[in-house]
Amino acid sequence: MKSKFLAFCVAMICATSAWAGGIDRVEPPCWWVGMDTDLQLMIYGDRIAGSTVNSEATVKGITVGKVISTNNPNYLFVNVKITNRLLNPGVYTFTVVTPDGRNLDFEYEFLKRRDGSSRRASFGPSDAVYLLMPDRFANGDLKNDSSKDAEEKADPTNLGGRHGGDLKGMIDHLDDIVALGATTIWPTPLLFDNEKDYSYHGYACADYYRIDPRYGSNELYRTFVEKAHAKGLKVIMDMVPNHCGTAHWWMDDLPSETWINHPENLSRRADRLIRTNAAMSTHSDPHAAQVDKESCVTGWFDVTMPDMNLADPLVLQYLTQMAVWWVEWADLDGLRVDTFPYSDKKGIADWTKAIRNEYKNLNIVGEVWFGDVASCAYWEGRKQFDGYNSQLPSVMDFPLMFATLSALRDEGTSWEPSMTRIYNSLALDWLYEDPSDILVFLGNHDTPRLAHELGGDADKMKMAYAMLATMRGVPQLYYGDEYGLQSADGTVGHSQERVDMPWGEFTRSQLALQRYVSDLFTWRKTSKAIAQGNFIHFRPDSRNVYVYFRTVKGEAVMTILNGGKEDYTVDWSHFSEITAKCPNKGKNVITTERVRVGDTYVVEAGTAAVIEFK
């Protein structure tokens, strides 16, 4: 039997080399003893449909179950059952016996799981998530900027091109992320995206089991996670079960005629593609026409993004195993799911449920891009009016982002001051099962940058960050926003705004903003009231001042957002239902200024104050 190291190396390079006898690929590339997730091997090779499969380890704890063929003669799907009490970790030989009499052997490794893997902890309200785009964050290895395996080569002068950021650069700047006060890292997809251009974003996967060689390798990704963990940082993986890329290796020979939706798009001009109508509301709309529902789910997200058919059990099992494999392989702490409501509604819920069946505590946050709370809350994991349950423990709070930015851009009216928009959004938290687990943010890789939205106003950005650091939910920062980065020419658009992080070239004002954010989020890590406390807010009056508290026994945090034109003197009596029950001595967590309940305290116009009472 080969050594484990050699066998695993063989398994990991199976995407680019063939086993003897005509088997080109087996996925997943390895598995673990002790998993609850069913294992179904996808085997790709020449004319293997209709084959039988057996294993040398049948008596040692491996049982080959149903073998499924599709309309493509080059694929087999093999159900494998592992009897955990019998099987020892190691490399085992499987034999594919083809209808034309060939015996095709391949070796497959079953590894030992980490202790406590199924009970791994995840990220939550005590954390702060740092979202970064690997290609634009930091270039730590100039040698991998381009790769012989990748179509698109590096061109830092091209706004929409590859700029060279990589895993080594992310590793090099882990201390900067820690210093900011973040506790969790969410990189946009790191899997191989081999489109001819605009591949840097990573959302058009070419291989679900391979890190993009321009970022590094599977091994380096695992090293990145290990080093992040050593510094107290958690890691979230960005996953895209809704679509792959047109450059995916299986596009030249699809596993089945139902593997993707609208395969006829592959031979159509771009202007004639069947695209999604993006009508995500049809899922919860009791009046929606079936044709509109189907268009949302089966239409392609973009010209380079074929739509995966999660209604197909083989596709669903493939994508489920893929997610579980990466959590186990890299020792991940959570997942973010792209374009969640664009997938088959039942399929994506089953996918989420299966992952959380393997990892009971794993947090999974879904991108559900709606401007209203009701539509977002529909996708949070609980039984809805129509019986649907997405199984998602967390969703992204787009409504609060829109409300916050709008509130800070203008003052509203005397009847409806702008800060009321934030208040009104949060007043609908009753629609959520657990609002403390919702991901809150001021912007991300798909939205205009915070500095652009707020006209570069540093005071408004500080107000926004004061809110983000003290709000209910899990805060997410977007790389560079802590410095107030904008596009070079001030215009918006993905290519313009996804700027390279200018390490070592920040201005004095940018560094001042970063220090403010760092002070806030470093303090946040010490606050029990923020991590566990209740949320109580007071309706803004005509002065356009929004005040809310986070409270836990013996502790309270008071946030004051003065969006008005006049300085605000705190009326302590108005907040007595809270202040009468908490310690009366506190301090401003940014200025360290001492504050006593009942004493005169003034918050200047257009600024924020965060006061901790302990």
Tell me what pLDDT residue 213 has. Answer: 98
- Please choose, from the candidates 235, 190, 185, 33, the residue with its C-alpha nearest in 3D space to the C-alpha of residue 117: 33
The domain over range 4-113 is classified in CATH as 1.10.1530.10: no
CATH topology of domain 129-526: TIM Barrel (3.20.20)
The one-letter code for the residue type at 204 is A
Question: No. of H helices and E strands in the chain?
Answer: 17, 28
Q: In this model, does residue 526 exceed pLDDT 50? A: yes
Q: How far apart are CA 63 and CA 56, in angstroms?
A: 10
Q: In this model, does residue 99 exceed pLDDT 60? A: yes
User: 6-15, 124-133, 305-314, 462-471 — which is least confidently predicted?
Assistant: 6-15
Confidence of residue 9 (pLDDT cuts 50, 70, 90): very low
Q: Which CATH architecture has domain 536-613?
A: Sandwich (2.60)
User: 14-18, 244-248, 288-292 — which is least confidently predicted?
Assistant: 14-18
pLDDT tens per residue, range 367-419: 999 999 999 999 999 999 999 999 999 999 999 999 999 999 998 888 899 99
- Please choose, from the candidates 445, 293, 430, the residue with its C-alpha nearest in 3D space to the C-alpha of residue 369: 445
Tell me what pLDDT residue 61 has. Answer: 85
For residues 511-520, average pLDDT: 98
Tell me what pLDDT residue 414 has. Answer: 82
- Please choose, from the candidates 15, 163, 148, the residue with its C-alpha nearest in 3D space to the C-alpha of residue 502: 163
Q: How far apart are CA 380 and CA 390, in angstroms?
A: 6
User: 54-63, 78-87, 296-305, 500-509 — which is least confidently predicted?
Assistant: 54-63
The residue ranking higher by pLDDT, 411 or 543, is 543
Neighbours of 365 (CB within 10 A): 24
Domain assignments of the chain as residue spans, ordered by start: 4-113, 129-526, 536-613
Residue 305 backbone class (left: φ over 0; alpha: ψ -120 to 50; beta: rest):
beta
- Please check whether the two domains, 4-113 and 536-613, share a CATH topology: yes
For residues 491-498, average pLDDT: 91
- Please choose, from the candidates 317, 307, 363, the residue with its C-alpha nearest in 3D space to the C-alpha of residue 125: 363
Tell me what pLDDT residue 56 has. Answer: 80
Return the ∠ at Cα 401 (arms to 397 and 405), rounded to 5°: 170
Q: How far is CA 104 from CA 7, 21, 283, 602, in A?
A: 17, 5, 46, 79
For residues 527-542, average pLDDT: 97
For residues 224-248, average pLDDT: 98
pLDDT tens per residue, range 161-219: 999 999 999 999 999 999 999 999 999 999 999 999 999 999 999 999 999 999 999 99
Tell me what pLDDT residue 444 has. Answer: 98
120 backbone dihedrals φ, ψ, rounded to 5° = -55, 145
* Catalytic residue positions, numbered: 338, 367
Confidence of residue 21 (pLDDT cuts 50, 70, 90): low
User: 54-58, 338-342, 447-451 — which is least confidently predicted?
Assistant: 54-58
- Please choose, from the candidates 297, 236, 300, the residue with its C-alpha nearest in 3D space to the C-alpha of residue 271: 300
Residues in Cβ contact with 135 at an 8 Å cutoff, skipping those fewer than 6 apart: 162, 163, 164, 165, 166, 200, 201, 202, 214, 215
Q: In this model, does residue 357 exceed pLDDT 60? A: yes
The one-letter code for the residue type at 174 is L
Confidence of residue 55 (pLDDT cuts 50, 70, 90): confident
pLDDT tens per residue, range 268-317: 988 899 999 999 999 999 999 999 999 999 999 999 999 999 999 999 99
Q: In this model, does residue 493 exceed pLDDT 70? A: yes
Residues in Cβ contact with 443 at an 8 Å cutoff, skipping those fewer than 6 apart: 401, 449, 450, 453, 478, 481
Tell me what pLDDT residue 14 has. Answer: 38
For residues 505-515, average pLDDT: 97
Q: How far apart are CA 169 and CA 137, in angstroms?
A: 7
